[in-house]
Chain A
């Protein structure tokens, strides 16, 4: 089955800095890569996703890049704000089942 590794487990930045979270996956047939944000006590919510036919996608301060050859994808948050503080999960959906397998999460802390 698919295996998703996510790093770092904790990321602490100053407000205004950029944050980068990286994930690798094992199944070369995976074709859908969502990122979820989970604030304390709340449900995970999709913030951005990318499909395997695209190398990069941006949505305001958030961007995701995908390197299919290396089987890794990354989340980039620019101009971080305290409200960006949360746990971020990456996921990969393997071809066939398309059921997402999650990484273990990154706790992002943005200091004012």
Chain B
């Protein structure tokens, strides 16, 4: 059974048109992460939530925002997608930082 679920699996958006990616978890984990993964590159952490505490990476563009309305859900909002934002976006959870991360299947974003 899927424990970290991302929707949609594939998303096509227009240049500059806001888009939201969603992630839900059934593990009741405290930490939720969003990673951006481009072809042949390492997953790059954008931000994470530890409970309600939001932690933004220093080099994450302002164009990227996140919301975590409750323990189970986390959203990634891209306010004005550019061509360079096309990537796989991976959501992950862990019980606490420093423990095994459970990944979703990812959402592949295409910007046209």
Q: A-side interface residues toward B, CB under 8 Å? A: 1, 4, 6, 9, 31-32, 34, 36, 42-46, 49, 89, 93, 97-105
User: How many B residues face the partner with a CB closer than 8 A?
Assistant: 23
B40 interfacial by beta-carbon distance below 8 Å: yes
Number of inter-chain CB pairs below 8 Å: 53
Q: B-side interface residues toward A, CB under 8 Å? A: 4, 33, 35, 40-45, 48, 55, 58, 90, 96-101, 103-106
A6 contacts which chain B residues (CB < 8 A)? Answer: 42
Closest A residue, CB atoms, query B43:
A102
A98 near B98 with CB under 8 A, answer: yes
A101 contacts which chain B residues (CB < 8 A)? Answer: 45
Q: How far is A104 from B42 in the complex, measured between Cα atoms in Å?
A: 4
Q: How far is A44 from B90 in the complex, measured between Cα atoms in Å?
A: 9
